[in-house]
Structure 1
Amino acid sequence: MGSEGGDVLAIRASQVSSELARVRQRGLGNLEKRSHNQEPVKAEKLTRLADKLNEIRQLRLHGRDALIRRILLDCIAAYKDRGNETEADLLRLLFFDPDPPHRRTPRDLLRLAQKRYGPDDAQRFADMRRDLFGRFGTFLIAYVQESVEEVGHSQIATNPDIFILSPDFWPSGGTRDLTGVWRSHYAYRSSSRDNQQFESDAHYLVLKQNGDSLVAESLPNVEGSYVRLLLQVDGSIASGTWTERTSPTKYYRGATYHGVIQMVVDPRGRRLKGKWLGFDTEFNIQVGDWTLTWLEGAIDETTLKKYAKKV
């Protein structure tokens, strides 16, 4: 894919995953090591992502080791903040010595990580790492893309050196699967309070996809409110209806509202952003922004418990 003024750089999650494995095996600090039986580690895509992060954040880091070290530290921390505590801790242990004076080798770190987090069987632990690097590679690309967008360079037409994801980003052979846990919030104006604008309380939604149909329902929260979205996806557009039962203890005292909604699915499938339309307490038609932000793809019972009553 290209655009006027330059080429768009396509980075595949599978490529980043493979490069993460190579970096782990060699060890940070040794990526440029050259000997009679070793060449510098090939990690072109990971280096490109790290360089982009360095550029947009004006970190002024020099050298591939420093760049990759920084992107791993930042992304592992962000991965943990988004609810992946155990996986983030495992990733950190695979790449970073928890007790630097010991200067453990990559093999030592691997053994320590397996002892703390992995199954005893070496092959099962290898499979576990491969799957983890796949998920983290996907997250890492999305993290850099989000960082690009934060500084206002999200328009490919005017800023062509923007990362896009090749089809293998999507886990099911090129079809987007939006199933997972999402954070939801929207903006609204209250006609009964001088038309002031407010931000809704955040909800964590479990979204399930069946073909082009999406059903997203909020997990239990401390306020006792409930949100449900029924959407149909057509290309990059998701359209449908919404329903909200408000908190019984807050201003709207458990009232139920509903309306229609249309959202744009971003190319990474990690954000849905659009507009809702519906009636208010005085039966005026209101409109406002609504955003869903992807947190993780798992929807098993253990994962959902992490988000229930979190807000």
Structure 2
Amino acid sequence: MNWITNYVRPTLNSLFSRRTDVPENLWSKCDECGTMLFHRELEENLNVCTHCGHHMAITARARLTALFDGGQFAELKVPEPLVDPLHFRDQKKYTDRLKAAQKSSGEKDAMLVAEGEIFETPAIVACQEFKFMAGSMGMYVGNALIAAAQRAVETKRPLVVFTAAGGARMQEGILSLMQMPRSTVAVDMVKEAGLPYIVVLTNPTTGGVTASYAMLGDVQIAEPNALICFAGPRVIEQTIREKLPEGFQRAEYLLDHGMLDRVTPRGKMKEELATIIRMLMGLPQHVVGPVPAPAPAEAPAAEAAAKPAEKPAKAAKPAPEKK
């Protein structure tokens, strides 16, 4: 070992092998058209492909930030259920799966509940987080829906639910299936109070979620090309041994067959929800952007209406006739 080996060679290697560390998540590939999209441009477009309009996955917190005015909302506290009540274990312990999901998603469980304003329209919004164990419906999700319904009735605000789930959570067994009637009762609470219940179905919405609160809305809206079903198309094909129609169980197919009221792109969802809520609540139509100034032609008429009416002039007395 000498100074050439210890000093010169490492120095030369560091000079010629330098590379700039570039983050790996600067670009995302569209699953539909294969276009490479710059991450900032994709975030500004709410994770919708700027080339083909394909709606990619978006986190629940990012969705709420884009939905509420100024990105400001208050997150509601959800009662926490028992952790691993069945002591379930498959390849991993259920508690370990929960910890891994919390770390990867950054959320406590598969649903967020928040209150805020949508174009100055107060609303309660519950949003499922698909990154948390595929948005599966467990006891926490049931508690979240009940908390959202109670808050909506208490504040007399409409309830909006964004669904994204692979169904019930198998690790909670029958306790997970019990959330179907619990969520149905929560929806009935809102409807009995005379408040709107609006559901926005996103890709994918399947299983027990579709069989309960996802299909009970006064108004059913879906994002383009969202998969909405109970059993998936592959399971149905294997069962009936027939080829399914093109686009079967997608949002546009369900709209054509009367299962949905609207298919609305993500970028227009905020305005759509504000319009529907105000219509159902009997409120005046919201104004998007600054209030326009009155037209020049209307100004003189408005000024004339503002001036007090002048007293009519007294009629002159007729002159006396000359004799």
Q: What TM-score results when the alignment is normalised by the length of structure 1?
A: 0.25
The structure number with the bigger radius of gyration is 2
**Higher RCO (Cα < 8 Å, 6 or more apart):** 1
Task: Give 1 or 2: higher strand fraction.
Answer: 1
